Structure 1
């Protein structure tokens, strides 16, 4: 980004692979704590999910191309949530970043914020020699006609939640069962597929954190949920 952003530190909370509903409840608790200034710092929640399809607000099941019975056999649930965007898949090997950020305090518009999150992903994959780009019509990061990282955020009382999903070593087959992001014919890809070998996931996590700090011009301070003053 061209502008320099406020340099107050952010809290960084890293979780293991987490069920979607559990992570959503944690997001809501952090969101409410930030809105009510119980927590006075911006936060970044980093994790992976067990397999799940999520559908953004004001969308239906029209972009799911398999039956409910099929998904039951695959043990994959479908969750309707309040973020923007359409349907996507989350699973292990996909790095999720949920920033809980008071946008006005950071002097950011929603468009600035989304652009910055894209930049974090672009810079991260560039460390592996992958040249991802933006598509202004369909937010996220792309390699030619394949999508490598997705973005869907929500804002409540000026504070962001939800965020981005970067496909690292993610299983791609479940994306064949949907029209990803509501776009028929779009193929998803992963760093593993592009590189023809799986990158070290811990190293990718480390680089995501480094680029969050670089792009937002902040320091990340590691915290656990028990460190934070919220109920």
Structure 2
């Protein structure tokens, strides 16, 4: 498990693929990457450019890049102040030759990611929950009008390749610049309200502190032996490290 700090989106995608290949060939165990990204809008397999509301000039002015990606889901935003987690896990045997995982295994993986985030938020006194048919994690806003309006605090979108190895993952809003959500229709859901830990707490935790807690809970939820959280880029070869 690794805390990498701020990492370019494209470089993180190269890194995920490198690690997934190593897992497939039995050269690396299951790996969790925790990091932040510079400003980026990503469009998943079920997404639409129509759900990006700012034009190219406005995105450029705000320093946002746009990427079409192979995860599930629609449009989302990543940026500083958001904890992004990429679990790269062998969800099936490495020599498994089927075209895809059974649906129950895939759905169960999503539910475990939600459980991880719900437990993490509960540690800070934030009561979070799932919503039927809407992958992700939600809270009720205490000062909304009407009171108790649901808001999304964490998004999930994954890819599982034909070998059963996962990529992409989750994004938890800790203390991002929330105005960037105005540039998209988040997850393709009209009228959805996004929120963050900073909006719900007197002071949000630091990202390194939250990364340590996330790593600990990840092992508990996925029933891995407790493992240390390494900081930095020592897991990378020099060619990939030069991209970050």
SS in 1 for 2:126: coil
Equivalent residue pairs, number = 219
Q: Does 1:14 align with 2:3?
A: yes
| Contact 2:3/2:208 (8 A) holds in 1 | no
- Shift in Å, 1:209: 1.1
Contact residue 87 and residue 178 of structure 1 kept, 8 A: yes
RMSD: 2.1
- The question of 1:169 aligning with 2:188 is answered no
> Is residue 19 of structure 2 the alignment partner of residue 30 of structure 1?
yes
Alignment check: 8 A CA contact 1:30 1:230 kept:
no
Matches of 2:55 and 2:67, distance apart in 1: 15
2:159 aligned residue: 154
Q: 117, 124, 133: which one pairs with 1:121?
A: 117
- Note closer, same or farther for the CA distance 1:111–1:198 as it changes in structure 2 (3 Å cut): same
Q: How does 1:1-231 map to 2 (within 5 A)?
A: 12-39=1-28, 41-105=29-93, 109-144=105-140, 145-156=150-161, 157-218=163-224, 219-223=226-230, 225-227=233-235
Gaps of 5+ in 1: 1-11
Deviations 1:20-56 (A, max 9, x none): 01111101111111122222x1110111101111110
The TM-score normalised by the length of structure 1 is 0.88
* Shift of residue 202, structure 1, vs aligned partner: 2.5
Cα distance, 1:135 vs. partner?
1.1
- Distance change >3 Å, CA 173–CA 123, structure 1 → 2: same
Query: What is the deviation of 1:228?
Result: 6.3
Secondary structure of the residue aligned to 2:51 is coil
Moved more, 163-172 or 191-200: 191-200
- 1:29 touches 1:230 (CA, 8 Å); kept in 2? no
Question: Closer, same or farther in 2 for the Cα pair 1:19/1:159, shift >3 Å?
Answer: same
Q: Are the counterparts in 2 of residues 148 and 191 from structure 1 also a CA contact under 8 Å?
A: yes
What is the TM-score of this pair, normalised by structure 2? 0.84
1:81-132 Cα deviation digits (max 9, x unpaired): 0000111110111111100101125998111111111111100011110000
- For the 8 Å contact 2:9–2:38, the answer to whether it is kept is yes
